């Protein structure tokens, strides 16, 4: 089975390799998410993940397309990090499977800047005086003191995608 992931981000690609194994044929291609650079709700983040998965499958001859999308969502407690994943099987594009990642509240100094229209990636780099945090530990890694990094968080999401896919195959909802 050949897999295509709709990203070149190493943290996201590592998550897929962690779950499907390094011997699996996995490639990453850059695809548009079709949503804002900084998704601002669960709905928008889910849509980004599904769009990436569909696009990845449409642009290649691969059976499985995976989309992973990071965003934030407003809650009564403040702005939360949210992350979503989707898997699409060629021929079953209208039935994506989705799964969500762990969430934490962002510090208000960061949230305020996002509400003003800035993007989390560059804001994090400036805040931590580091480069390309989004491709490494991610905001979730910084604010959990390295306990759960971005690849760990997405690994859990991809595990749930794989499990749901297996269930759909067992139930004969999807034939590979």
Ligand X SMILES: O=P(O)(O)OP(=O)(O)OP(=O)(O)OC[C@H]1O[C@@H](n2cnc3c(O)ncnc32)[C@H](O)[C@@H]1O
Give the footprint of ligand X on this chain (CB under 6 A): 7-9, 12, 37-38, 69-71, 119-121, 124, 133-134, 138-140, 150
User: Smallest distance, Å, CB 3 to ligand X?
Assistant: 15
* Cα 67 to Cα 56: distance, rounded to the nearest angstrom: 8
Which residue number, 83 or 168, has a Cβ lying nearer to ligand X?
83
User: Smallest distance, Å, CB 99 to ligand X?
Assistant: 15
Sheet holding 25-28, edge to edge: 25-28, 2-5, 64-75, 78-89, 97-100
DSSP 3-state helix, strand, coil percentages of the chain (rounded to 5)? 45, 20, 35
* Cα 173 to Cα 168: distance, rounded to the nearest angstrom: 5
What is the DSSP track for 34-83?
SS-SS--SHHHHHHHHHHHHHHHHHTSS-SEEEEEEEEEEEETTEEEEEE
User: Smallest distance, Å, CB 122 to ligand X?
Assistant: 7
Which residue number, 47 or 168, has a Cβ lying nearer to ligand X?
47
Which residue number, 6 or 62, has a Cβ lying nearer to ligand X?
6
Which residue number, 55 or 168, has a Cβ lying nearer to ligand X?
55
């Amino acid at each position: 089975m050949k897999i295509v992931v709709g990203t070149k981000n190493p943290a996201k690609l590592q998550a897929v390799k962690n779950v499907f194994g390094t011997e699996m044929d996995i490639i990453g291609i850059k695809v548009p998410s079709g949503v804002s650079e900084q998704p601002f709700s669960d709905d928008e983040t889910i849509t980004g993940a599904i769009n990436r998965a569909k696009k990845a499958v449409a642009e290649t001859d691969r059976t499985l397309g995976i989309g992973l999308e990071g965003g934030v969502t407003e809650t009564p407690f403040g702005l939360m990090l949210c992350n979503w994943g989707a898997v699409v099987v060629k021929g079953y594009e209208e039935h994506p499977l989705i799964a969500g990642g762990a969430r934490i509240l962002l510090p208000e100094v960061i949230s305020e800047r996002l509400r003003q229209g800035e993007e989390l990636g560059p804001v994090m780099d400036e805040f931590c005086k580091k480069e390309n945090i989004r491709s490494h530990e991610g905001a979730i890694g910084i604010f959990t003191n390295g306990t759960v990094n971005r690849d760990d968080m997405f690994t859990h999401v991809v595990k749930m995608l794989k499990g749901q896919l297996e269930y759909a195959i067992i139930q004969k909802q999807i034939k590979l």
